[in-house]
Amino acid sequence: MSSSLKNLSDFSHLDVQNASGSRFAIVVAQWNAAITGALLSGAVDKLLAHGVAESDIEVIQVPGSYELISGADIAFRNKSFDAVICLGCVIQGETRHFDFICNAVADGIANVGLKYNKPVIFGVLTTDNEQQALDRAGGKHGNKGEEAAVTAIQMSHIARRF
């Protein structure tokens, strides 16, 4: 076996401690603001903890999760970010609106990433109720904003490597 293929179970290169010099945009939706605000705090704190300068983090607020798509596009179009983190919270209601928004956002931000050839991170909670969202925004299931920030750091590291 080729030596470069020997350690395929070694993921240690994803254990990026220092992300100083990398630039990130965080696009965050206003809908369910108490929850998205907690996701945003988690993401910002995580980036700072990994050495990202405050001046290298730009926060773009948009009305709802659906607008995360154009928010991510605007971010890449205007500045060179290593990755864009999208944060939102869509809570199931009585109509099919939930499905339309969730599917559109997932597809839409993926397309933005492909368009600019840069990582876009899906930090959107899609829950049955508010409690499930609170549990994932600093509650018993952690903070998905923090996880999104770590993923952004990992992906920007990979993008720089290859």
Binding site listing for 5-amino-6-(D-ribitylamino)uracil: 31, 65-67, 89-91, 122
Radius of gyration of the chain from its Cα atoms, rounded to whole angstroms = 16
Contacting residue, 67, 73, 82, 146, with ligand DLZ by CB under 6 A: 67
116 binds ligand DLZ per the rule CB under 6 A: no
Contacting residue, 63, 114, 129, 141, with ligand DLZ by CB under 6 A: 63
| Residues annotated in a binding site for (2S)-2-hydroxy-3-oxobutyl phosphate | 94-95, 136
Angle between helices 68-78 and 97-116 (to 10 degrees): 20
Contacting residue, 19, 29, 149, 153, with ligand DLZ by CB under 6 A: 29
93 binds ligand DLZ per the rule CB under 6 A: yes
User: Between 96 and 115, how does the x/- string for binding to ligand DLZ read (CB under 6 A)?
Assistant: -x---x--------------
The neighbouring-strand residues paired with 83 are 24
Dist CA 59 CA 131 (whole Å) = 26
CB neighbours (10 Å) of residue 84? 27
Residue 111 and residue 9 in contact, taking contact as beta carbons nearer than 8 Å: no
SS3 128: coil
Structure letter (DSSP) for residue 98: H
Catalytic residues, which ones? 97
Q: Give residues in contact with ligand DLZ (CB under 6 A).
A: 29, 31-32, 63-67, 88-91, 93, 97, 101
